[in-house]
Structure 1
Amino acid sequence: MPGRLSGSTAVVTGASGGLGAHFARILAREGAAVAVTARRVAMVEALAAEIREAGGRALALPLDVADADAVGPALDRVIAELGGLDILINNAGVGGEGLALDVPIEEFDRAFAVNVRGTFVCAREAAKRMIASGTEGRIVNIASIASHTVLPGLSAYCGSKAAVAMLTKSLAREWARKGIAVNALAPGYIETDINATWWPTEGGQRQLKLFPRRRLMDADDLDDAFLLLAGPSAKRITGSLITVDDGQSLPGGG
């Protein structure tokens, strides 16, 4: 039985692990040809091989989204080898951990270079190609509850993800009559490569107890919202930020 994304081609940035790899597997499961990109080439090559072994179509590409000059050529290669560009998942991101008085300015700059500038460049380069081909494209920016909730010790990260949320709305408005839906998904805390070392610590355990349900989410808790934004159902959805966080951003603690 064909998947709901059969015949489409998707690009996932930051697909070397965590949510990026998870999203790539969902897209492939639903029938999309998937280009998986990241700086860690061996990991995306392994993911692409896994998708192909399961009967899907996949291409692995090296890409650092902070390198603006590399984005366009990478997308051109996707179009040439997989036959088009219908969906962009802007997932690449870094943490930017540190109190405002302590975080090195280089780490602050890196958070914005990857999380904001990288998202902007990838979205713009994808949109150029979608518009040129007449594609009713889907751009899904992976934001965070940090887009609208203060996370202590993460001022750079929160600032960058808030920028992603507003950037999503701005791009959606600009491209509203171009047939491109631009939306953002704001997950709550899921254990990923970025935060895995934090949760076993005393501070991590204290933070868990502040969540209303006192637990982390699973990656597959995002699947339905993700496919809503990446697929045909987003025809009438653009400029939206959908939060899926198990109530973690609700005020009042646990």
Structure 2
Amino acid sequence: MTLKGRTLFITGASRGIGLAIGKRAAADGANIVIAAKTTDPNPKLPGTIYSAAEEIRAAGGQALPLAVDIRDEEGVLAAVAKAVQEFGGIDVLVNNASAISLTDTEHTPMKRYDLMNGINARGTYLCTQACLPQLQKAAGAGRNAHVLNMSPPLSMKQHWFAPHTAYTMAKYGMSMCTLGHSGEFAKYGIAVNSLWPRTAIATAALQMIPGVDLNLCRKPEILADAAYFILTSDAKTTTGNFFIDDELLAKHGVTDLEQYSVKPGTRKFIPDFFVD
């Protein structure tokens, strides 16, 4: 099974993990809807929806760059309508857009709390709701409909909450969508899964966090390859899972992960959050 001719609606796909997933699907000849906010170049945060579209086309896919703030219901619904107009439907939704602030309660302004929960939890729910009619049609037509949330396994342990309660709530909100929607959408044949990295991933967002050594991270391509295995699996039998990238790759025979190291030869990586 490949993604040739499939249409993927990917939030936050102007750079990083979302773009990497889009390019991996584009290599099959997929259609990629780039739903992200960045339209103008920023020297501190490289990548726009238009530069991402160029990269996706160069990788072999079709691209539709759309300026979308996933906190805006009307904007999301309009983007879905444009995607359907351009490509005829939506087969896959990747909820990748996310906001992060690793701050404790004392140092988390409510504006930042609202941003994280508005993008991560609410944005994931909204985009899933907006794409659902198209995903139902795709599943009914045998087009292997998937929703993939870039969120961690649920672990109700204090040490994952205490240092940054607001961020953890926001990310777990995405994972709760996986838990609930996988059960809710099973009757339609729509798969809903989560994917999360074992190690920190070198992205532009990570560079904004002081003290992070990107040489101790892996590249976004490890998640792109893991996502590809999920999105090409049978939606009727692969649903409700909280996948970890290296474990999933190993199940598919990929055990040499050297290609994903930012610095070749690295043996000790920065661990990501939420993996016990």
Corresponding residue for residue 66 of structure 1: 71
Corresponding residue for residue 22 of structure 2: 24
Is structure 2 residue 178 aligned with structure 1 residue 168? yes
CA deviations over 1:191-249 (Å, ceiling 9, x no partner): 212221436x2xx46xx9xxxxx932222222332112222344411111112367936
Distance (whole Å) between structure 1 residues aligned to residue 67 and residue 238 of structure 2: 31
Q: TM-score, normalised by structure 1?
A: 0.84
- The 3 A distance-change label for structure 1 pair 76 and 237 is same
Q: TM-score, normalised by structure 2?
A: 0.78
Q: Is the 8 A contact 1:63 1:74 kept in 2?
A: yes
Structure 2 unmatched ranges of 5 or more: 41-47, 247-268
Distance (whole Å) between structure 1 residues aligned to residue 132 and residue 108 of structure 2: 34
Query: How many pairs does the alignment contain?
Result: 238
CA deviations over 1:85-144 (Å, ceiling 9, x no partner): 101111111003311122101111111000000000101111122224535411001114
What residue identity is the alignment partner of 2:65? A
- The 3 A distance-change label for structure 1 pair 61 and 127 is same
Q: Is the 8 A contact 2:150 2:194 kept in 1?
A: yes
Corresponding residue for residue 55 of structure 2: 50
Corresponding residue for residue 211 of structure 1: none
Query: Any idea what SS the aligned residue of 1:159 has?
Result: helix
Is structure 2 residue 203 aligned with structure 1 residue 192? yes
Is structure 2 residue 239 aligned with structure 1 residue 238? yes
Query: Any idea what SS the aligned residue of 1:7 has?
Result: coil
Q: Is the 8 A contact 1:228 1:234 kept in 2?
A: no
Q: 2:105 aligns with which of 96, 100, 104?
A: 100
Runs of 4+ that moved beyond 4 A: none
Corresponding residue for residue 75 of structure 1: 80
Structure 1 unmatched ranges of 5 or more: 209-213
- The 3 A distance-change label for structure 1 pair 50 and 220 is closer
Aligned pairs for 1:1-254 within 5 A: 4-42=2-40, 43-132=48-137, 134-135=140-141, 136-144=144-152, 147-148=154-155, 150=160, 153-187=163-197, 188-198=199-209, 201=211, 204=212, 215-244=216-245, 248=271
- The 3 A distance-change label for structure 1 pair 144 and 169 is closer
Q: RMSD of the alignment, in Å?
A: 2.5
